[in-house]
Amino acid sequence: MTRRERTAPSAVSPRRAERRREPEGSNGVRRVLAIRRAGEPLPGTGASLGDASLLRTVTYDGLEAVVRDDDETPLAPTRENLLEHVHTVDALARQTTLLPLSFGTLLASDADVAALLASGQETFKKTLARLAGQVEYAVRLDCARNDAARLCEGEDEDLRMLGRAILRQEGHPFLRLQYERRLQQVLAAGVPRVQSRLSKMLAPLEARVRFEPLLGDRALIQAAVLLPRSREAQLVPTLHRLARDLGGATVRCVGPSAPYSFVSLRVRVGRDVAAE
């Protein structure tokens, strides 16, 4: 009779461990949408999420990646596909803290997804802890041209004098050109002051503000605001108070969303992960 030798089981790598748990029929590629702490439920199907049954998770050492199985053909970066990606990630972010990955993050298998989680687990966990319980809002304050001019004339003597001269000379073209140039100078000089006021008003909400370049000639503020979920209800009233102080600016506030502006992940399987 042949004697069978029993050997101790060898250590299993993340890649081999996940390969054993590949779901049946999961051919193609894995589209990775986000990374979060393990154990959170996936939301149900909704208007902003589409068919949630297409989502599943791949877990490794207290982390999990939210993935969707796709065929081998990469999705084209069309407006429809980009919006679907953003809406899905934002719907997940309304439930729990997560790290959003950019559109088109594709991996070949669950084993590769697990290897991604393993390669950056320390960075992922630290970043998730830093962002825990917080959501992002996109904030913009616009001011109509006449309102901006009236506000600036109250602060700048040269602009007031040009405005009076235009009235006396019935809108002389050269004076109007000088007025517009001076108005733009005063507006540009006033933006840092408005940003400082917004930061001070949001400080009691434990909010972080990241200002962005202004788009359009009516914008006074364009910013991303990160704040605790428990403070969400106080954000819009605070913005409206600032708008009234600025002479009736228009407030636009979009969210909550994933913290796109407060974390930047560069990920490569098998290499260190950088998060800022």
Domains and CATH numbers, the chain: 15-132 (no CATH), 136-260 (3.30.70.600)
- Comparing CA positions, the residue from 107, 126, 127 lying closest to residue 116 is 107
Q: Report helix, strand or coil for 21.
A: coil
pLDDT digits (tens, 9 = 90+) for 249-265: 889 999 999 999 998 77
Residue type (1 letter), 218: R
Gap between the Cα atoms of 16 and 18, Å rounded: 6
Gap between the Cα atoms of 235 and 241, Å rounded: 10
Pairing of strands 274-275, 29-37: unpaired
Residue type (1 letter), 46: G
pLDDT at residue 42 above 60? yes
User: Are residues 181 and 189 in contact, defined by beta-carbon separation less than 8 angstroms?
Assistant: no
C-beta neighbour count of 165 within 10 angstroms: 15
pLDDT digits (tens, 9 = 90+) for 62-107: 999 999 888 766 778 888 888 888 888 988 888 889 999 888 888 8
Pairing of strands 250-257, 134-142: antiparallel
Residue count of the chain:
276
Gap between the Cα atoms of 105 and 37, Å rounded: 19
In the numeric block, which tokens belong to residue 10? Answer: 């060898």
pLDDT digits (tens, 9 = 90+) for 171-230: 567 777 776 676 666 666 667 878 888 999 999 999 999 998 877 667 778 999 999 999
Which H or E run contains 69?
Answer: strand 63-70
